[in-house]
Amino acid sequence: MLSPTLRTTLNIMSTIRTQMNLAAANRLSTVHRHLSTTSQVNKIEKLTVFGAGLMGAGIAQVGAQSGLKVILSDVTDKALENGLNIISKSLSRVAKKKSPDDIEGFTSNILKNIETTTDAAKAVQDSDLVIEAIIESIKVKRDLFGFLDEKAKAECIFASNTSSLSVKEIAESCSNDRQARFAGLHFFNPVPAMKLVEIIKTPQTSTETFEALKEVTLRMNKSPVSCNDTPGFIVNRLLVPYLLEAIRMVERGDATPEDIDTAMELGAGYPMGPFKLLDFVGLDTTSYIAQGWREKAQSGEISKELVEPIGLLDKLVKEGKLGRKSGQGFYEYDNKK
Ligand code: CAA
Ligand code: NAD
């Protein structure tokens, strides 16, 4: 026979146990809910690309070629027209090899997978993956992603094609859940021809997001590699200091752009010398990369000497001589061809 005091104590303990179990169950269900919202990703079928310039056009093209439904978005109809032009020219090159008897049929079949719009909200409403390839400015990228976070589905993955900015800093414009579905996806120029894609995981990027991005880049027939969120990732951390040093050589009067290009093509086996490559990438893009890195140099993330300002680069950019895309950079181009 239990004493009344002992019975009361046992009753209290049983009530506490029930409440503790309920609290634990609630905690568990919150963790499950959180895990399912942070990790759930859909198979990627619908891709939205922001920026219809050199890179965005190429990414939209390889997406469409791999069977994805693509929406290409930019701020003006003129920019979208420029993007479609880049895609059509490139597709006819691809078609000459893949379908020489029906170049037009091949091209129009791929183009059917690409829609265009200047309405950013509409562009993402049904998307599984957003790849941003707009101007290399942290503010402009953060503004765009902050806006898109409210408009896209919760499961949609966001990726930036930034060349050099911190992916984590861009991702922080979005909610915590989206940051788990946010990564860097760095393609190379010209996208249809270059096989590499760097996938950049931030500390917040979920494993499911990383795996989904790996899978979709393989579907695009690319070879993905992974890198931490560090200035320039792998390729640009090595390539951009080399390009900047080549401009300094010309500024010092050591050699001409033509001779430096010949030297690196014939002496080092590079497919393009540094000045052809600078014009190909865009002098504005290279200048934005160097500017962004100068801020990182203050915190010691990259050495200061690598990114010292270069008068000749700044002068050309100021004059609108941006390389191939503007018709003049270190060399002149006939863009009507
Ligand atoms: N669209 C479709 N296919 C293209 C293409 C395009 N725009 N450009 C080239 N190709 C294809 C060609 O059809 C050809 O394919 P096949 O081998 O199957 O026939 C192949 O690419 C080679 O092209 P070409 O024979 O016409 O010319 P090439 O041999 O001179 O190569 C090149 C052209 C691939 C651009 C080569 O010059 C090269 O590799 N250049 C260096 C490019 C480079 O370094 N890019 C990285 C820049 S850095 C970057 O992108 C990162 C950043 O963040 C700034
Ligand atoms: P680009 O100048 O050719 O094109 C940029 C496009 O973005 C333009 O059409 C512009 O109208 C558009 N744009 C600007 N703000 C926009 C906005 N808010 N919404 C939608 N569109 C907007 O530039 P690019 O060379 O294609 O570079 C794009 C990105 O890719 C940059 O982050 C760059 O660092 C990176 N990248 C460039 C290269 C390269 O070789 N050029 C290679 C890899 C990565």
Query: Tens place of pLDDT for every residue, the chain, 337 residues?
Result: 445 544 544 454 444 454 545 444 444 444 433 444 445 667 899 999 999 999 999 999 999 999 999 999 999 999 999 999 999 999 999 999 999 999 999 999 999 999 999 999 999 999 999 999 999 999 999 999 999 999 999 999 999 999 999 999 999 999 999 999 999 999 999 999 999 999 999 999 999 999 999 999 999 999 999 999 999 999 999 999 999 999 999 999 999 999 999 999 999 999 999 999 999 999 999 999 999 999 889 889 999 999 999 999 999 999 999 999 999 999 999 987 6
Q: Whose CA is nearest to atom 23 of ligand 2?
A: 53
Question: Separation of 266 CA from ligand 2 center, angstroms?
Answer: 31
Q: Where are the alpha helices (DSSP H) in the chain?
A: 4-39, 54-65, 77-98, 103-111, 120-124, 138-151, 167-171, 176-180, 207-219, 235-252, 257-268, 274-281, 283-298, 311-318
Least distant ligand from the CA of 190: 1
Token match 């506490």: residue? 16
Measured at the CA of 163, the angle between CA 278 and CA 325, to 5 degrees, comes to 40
Task: From the CA of 186, give the closest atom in ligand 1.
Answer: 53
User: 275 is written with which tokens?
Assistant: 């000045």
Question: Is residue 113 part of an annotated ligand binding site?
Answer: no
Q: At 273, give phi and psi (nearest 5°).
A: -70, 170
Question: Is residue 243 part of an annotated ligand binding site?
Answer: no
Task: From the CA of 187, give the closest atom in ligand 1.
Answer: 50
pTM: 0.89
Question: Is residue 189 part of an annotated ligand binding site?
Answer: yes
Q: Print burial letters for 259-279: b (CB count within 10 Å at least 16), e (below 16).
A: ebbeebeeeeeeeebbbbbbb
Question: Separation of 285 CA from ligand 2 center, angstroms?
Answer: 8
Instruction: Measure the CA–CA gap between 288 and 123, rounded to whole angstroms.
Output: 27
Cβ of 188 less than 6 Å from ligand 1:
yes
Catalytic center residues: 163, 186, 198, 236
Question: Separation of 254 CA from ligand 2 center, angstroms?
Answer: 33
